[in-house]
C-alpha cells in the first residue's frame, strides 16, 4: 500500500533547487531553481530542446535528476504517494485505443488509488469538463487527435488533483479547443490546484498564467510575474528638433535616451504620453510617430532566447516550435 | 499490479486475440481428430495391431505437440516482445507510470496477464487435442497434465525472455533474438543427446550449458516423456536411433532442471524489473 503524501496547503506544489539532468555530454537541465505555489498557473516556456519536457519528467519521477533536489507537494521527486494528487497530460498523449473513453478514466482512477465507488462519478465529471460527455462510450482508437488530447486533459484533471502538469496541452486542438483549455486551466486554479503549463504558445501562456519561467539551454533566463518578465511599459517617439541637452527637461516622465531620431523613455506610464507630447512640441520638436506599451511575451521571449542563436535559415539555426 | 493484469487480458480480448486463439485451437483439434481417425481406420484395414496403432498415435501426438509447442513459443514471443517496448514507444506507459504505479507492478502485471492468456491457450488446446485423440484412438498418455504443463512452461520461459528484452529493445529485435535463441537451444539439445549416446563429453557439456542459459529444451523433453506410453520408453531406451532422437525421451527432465527453469523465470523477471527501473522514460 502506497502511503498518502503529507499534503499541506502551506507547502508549494513544486519546489526545485539547482535541478540538473545530464544525458552523456548533453546538459538537458542545468541548475533549475523554481517554486510553484498552490492555486497558481505557472507557465514554463522555452524553445525546442531547452529542457522543458525533461524538467516535467524529472518532476514526475519518469527520469532521475543527476544533481540538485526537488519536492512535489512536499514529497521528494519520484515519491509514489505524492503522485496520487498529481494529474499529467504528456506531450506525447496516447491512451489504450481498445478502451472506451470512460474506461481510460476509470483505469487511471484505479491507478491513482481512487475507491471503486468514486471512479465512475469522477470519470463522468472529467469527461464533462473536457467536453467529451457524449463520447464516453466510444473507443479511444476512433477519436481524432484533438479528442484524444481532450481525453488526456480529462485524465490529468481526474479526481481534482492538487497539481496538474500539462505538457503542450493544446498542440492538437483547434482555436475553439484552445479557448476551452484556457477556461479549464483557470477553473482548475480556481478550485485551488496548481497548474504547471509547459507550452510554446506564448499568447496562450500570456492569457492564462500568473507567473512564468523562460528557460533556455536548461537554465532559467527569466522568471516571475508576467509584468516582471515583460518589463514595464515604455514610450518610443520618432522626432526631429531635439538634442541631448533637452533631455533633462523631460526626465520627470522617466529616464530618456535619444538615438538618432528615436526618443525612448523606459519605463514610462502610458497615461503621461499626451503631456509628454505637448511638452516636446512646445520645445520645438517635430513628432512623426508615437508608440506606447510594453513588449509582448513573444518579443520578450525572442529577446531572451534568440540573442545568442544564428539567424533563421542558417544550417544550425534552432526553430521555434 | 492486478489492474495491469486485467488490462492486459482485456486487451487480448478486445483486440480479438483470444478469439483468434480459440478458433485456431478448434481448427487444429478438428484436423487432428480427423487425421488420427482416418489413419486408424486405414491401419485397421491393413491389419495393423492395436499395439502398433498405440505406438503410432503416441508418435503423432508428439509431433502435434512439437508443432503446437513451436506455435505456442512463437505466440509467447509475439506477445512478449512488444509488451513493454511498444507502450514505452507510443507513450501509453508514461501516462500510467506517472501515477503511483511502481514500475515492477507494471511489468509484472503485463507478464502475468500475458502468461494467463498463454497458459490458458496451452491448456485448452493441449487438453482438447489429447482428449479428442483419446476418444478417437483410445490412447491417452499416462499423465496428460505433465506434457501440457511442460509445453506451457516452455512458452513462459520465452515470454519472460522477450519481456526482459522488451525493456530495452524494439519489439522486432527482441522477438527475433528470442526465437533464434529458442531454435539454438533446441538444436543444442539434439546435439547433446547425440553426444550422450556417443559418449562425447564436450557435446554433452555444451548442451547442459545451453539448458542452463535457456531451459526450453529440457522442458521439451518433459513434453515428449509425458506423451509416450511405457512400452515405447522401455523399447527405445536401448536403441541408439531412439536415444538420439529429439522425439524420444527415456526419462523426464531432472527435478533440478525443472527447479532451475522456475528460478530462471524469476531471475529473468527480476532482471527485467531492474532494467525498467533504470530506464529513463
Question: What number is the ipTM of this complex?
Answer: 0.84
Helix (H, G, I), strand (E, B) or coil at B130: helix
Burial, B63: exposed, middle or buried (Cβ in 10 Å; 0-12, 13-18, 19+)?
A: exposed
Give me the residues paired with residue A216 across strands.
A219
**Cis (ω within 30 of 0) for the bond into A267?**
yes
What structural domains does chain A harbor? Answer: 14-228 (3.40.50.300), 232-294 (3.30.70)
Out of A62, A86, A155, name the one closest to residue B97 (CB): A62
Structural domain harbouring B50: 2-278
Out of B92, B96, B281, name the one closest to residue A111 (CB): B96
- Overall number of domains in chain B: 1
Report the C-alpha gap between B166 and B78 in whole angstroms.
Answer: 11
Longest dimension (CA), chain A: 80
- Any idea which residue has 475553439 for its cell? A176
Interchain CB distance below 8 Å, B15 and A98:
yes
How far is residue A258 CA from its own chain's centroid? 35
B143 Cβ contact list (under 8 Å, min separation 6): B226
pLDDT tens track for B216-275: 999 999 999 888 887 777 776 667 666 777 778 878 889 999 999 999 999 999 999 999
pLDDT tens for chain A, 321 residues: list them. Answer: 445 444 455 689 999 999 999 988 888 999 899 999 988 999 998 888 888 999 999 999 999 999 999 999 999 998 999 999 999 999 889 999 999 999 999 999 999 999 999 999 999 999 999 999 999 999 999 999 999 999 999 999 999 999 999 998 988 888 888 888 889 999 999 998 999 999 877 778 888 898 999 888 888 888 888 777 776 678 889 999 888 889 999 999 888 988 888 898 888 887 888 999 999 999 999 999 998 776 667 777 777 776 555 555 544 433 333
Angstrom distances, CA of residue B248 to CA of A227, B59, B126, B200, B242: 83, 9, 19, 19, 6
Q: Is A80 on the interface with B (CB under 8 A)?
A: yes
Mutation site for B-interface testing, chosen from A22, A98, A101, A154 by largest number of B Cβ within 10 Å: A98
A69 Cβ contact list (under 8 Å, min separation 6): A16, A17, A18, A19, A76, A77
Interchain CB distance below 8 Å, A152 and B95:
yes
Amino acid at each position: 500500500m502506497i502511503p498518502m503524501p503529507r499534503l499541506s496547503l502551506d507547502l508549494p506544489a513544486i519546489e526545485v533547487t539547482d535541478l540538473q539532468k545530464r544525458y552523456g555530454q548533453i546538459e538537458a537541465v542545468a541548475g533549475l531553481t523554481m517554486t510553484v505555489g498552490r492555486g497558481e498557473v505557472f507557465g514554463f516556456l522555452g524553445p525546442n530542446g531547452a529542457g522543458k519536457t525533461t524538467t516535467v519528467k524529472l518532476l514526475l519521477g519518469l527520469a532521475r535528476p543527476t544533481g540538485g533536489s526537488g519536492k512535489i507537494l512536499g514529497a521528494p521527486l519520484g515519491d509514489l504517494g505524492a503522485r496520487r494528487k498529481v494529474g499529467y497530460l504528456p506531450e506525447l498523449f496516447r491512451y489504450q485505443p481498445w478502451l472506451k473513453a470512460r474506461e481510460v478514466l476509470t483505469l487511471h482512477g484505479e491507478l491513482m488509488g481512487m475507491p471503486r465507488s468514486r471512479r465512475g462519478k469522477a470519470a463522468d465529471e472529467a469527461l464533462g469538463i473536457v467536453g467529451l460527455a457524449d463520447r464516453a462510450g466510444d473507443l479511444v482508437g476512433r477519436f481524432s487527435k484533438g479528442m484524444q488530447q481532450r481525453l488526456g486533459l480529462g485524465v490529468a484533471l481526474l479526481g481534482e488533483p492538487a497539481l496538474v502538469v500539462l505538457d503542450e496541452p493544446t498542440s492538437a486542438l483547434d482555436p475553439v479547443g484552445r479557448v476551452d483549455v484556457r477556461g479549464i486551466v483557470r477553473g482548475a486554479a480556481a478550485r485551488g490546484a496548481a497548474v504547471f503549463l509547459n507550452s510554446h504558445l506564448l499568447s496562450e501562456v500570456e492569457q492564462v498564467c500568473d507567473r512564468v519561467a523562460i528557460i533556455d539551454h536548461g537554465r532559467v533566463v527569466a522568471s516571475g510575474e508576467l509584468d516582471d518578465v515583460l518589463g514595464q511599459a515604455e514610450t518610443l517617439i520618432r522626432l526631429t528638433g531635439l538634442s541631448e541637452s533637452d533631455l533633462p527637461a523631460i526626465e520627470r516622465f522617466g529616464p530618456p535616451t535619444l538615438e538618432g531620431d528615436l526618443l525612448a523613455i523606459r519605463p514610462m506610464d502610458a497615461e503621461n504620453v499626451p503631456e509628454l507630447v505637448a511638452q516636446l512640441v512646445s520645445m520645438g520638436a517635430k513628432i512623426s510617430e508615437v508608440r506606447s506599451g510594453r513588449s509582448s511575451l513573444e518579443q520578450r521571449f525572442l529577446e531572451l532566447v534568440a540573442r545568442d542563436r544564428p539567424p533563421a535559415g542558417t544550417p544550425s539555426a534552432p526553430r521555434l516550435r | 499490479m492486478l489492474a495491469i493484469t486485467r488490462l492486459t487480458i482485456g486487451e487480448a480480448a478486445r483486440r480479438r486475440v483470444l478469439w483468434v486463439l480459440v478458433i485456431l485451437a478448434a481448427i487444429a483439434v478438428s484436423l487432428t481428430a480427423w487425421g488420427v481417425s482416418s489413419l486408424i481406420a486405414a491401419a485397421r484395414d491393413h491389419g495393423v495391431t492395436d499395439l502398433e496403432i498405440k505406438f503410432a498415435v503416441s508418435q503423432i501426438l508428439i509431433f502435434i505437440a512439437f508443432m503446437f509447442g513451436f506455435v505456442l513459443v512463437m505466440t509467447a514471443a509475439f506477445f512478449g516482445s512488444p509488451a513493454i517496448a511498444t507502450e514505452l514507444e507510443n507513450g501509453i506507459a508514461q501516462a500510467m507510470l506517472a501515477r503511483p504505479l511502481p514500475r515492477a507492478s507494471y511489468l509484472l502485471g503485463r507478464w502475468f496477464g500475458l502468461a494467463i492468456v498463454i497458459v490458458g491457450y496451452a491448456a485448452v488446446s493441449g487438453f482438447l487435442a489429447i482428449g479428442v485423440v483419446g476418444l478417437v484412438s483410445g490412447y491417452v498418455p499416462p499423465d496428460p497434465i505433465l506434457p501440457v504443463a511442460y509445453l506451457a512452461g516452455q512458452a513462459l520461459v520465452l515470454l519472460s525472455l522477450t519481456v526482459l528484452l522488451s525493456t530495452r529493445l524494439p519489439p522486432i529485435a527482441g522477438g527475433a533474438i528470442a526465437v533464434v535463441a529458442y531454435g539454438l537451444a533446441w538444436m543444442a539439445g539434439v546435439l547433446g543427446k547425440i553426444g550422450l549416446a556417443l559418449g562425447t563429453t564436450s557435446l554433452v557439456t555444451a548442451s547442459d550449458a545451453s539448458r542452463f542459459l535457456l531451459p526450453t529444451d529440457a522442458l521439451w523433453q518433459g513434453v515428449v516423456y509425458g506423451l509416450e506410453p511405457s512400452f515405447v520408453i522401455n523399447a527405445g531406451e536401448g536403441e541408439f536411433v531412439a536415444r538420439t532422437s529429439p522425439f524420444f525421451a527415456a526419462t523426464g527432465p531432472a527435478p533440478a532442471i525443472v527447479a532451475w527453469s522456475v528460478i530462471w523465470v524469476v531471475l529473468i523477471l527480476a532482471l527485467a524489473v531492474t532494467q525498467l527501473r533504470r530506464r529513463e522514460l
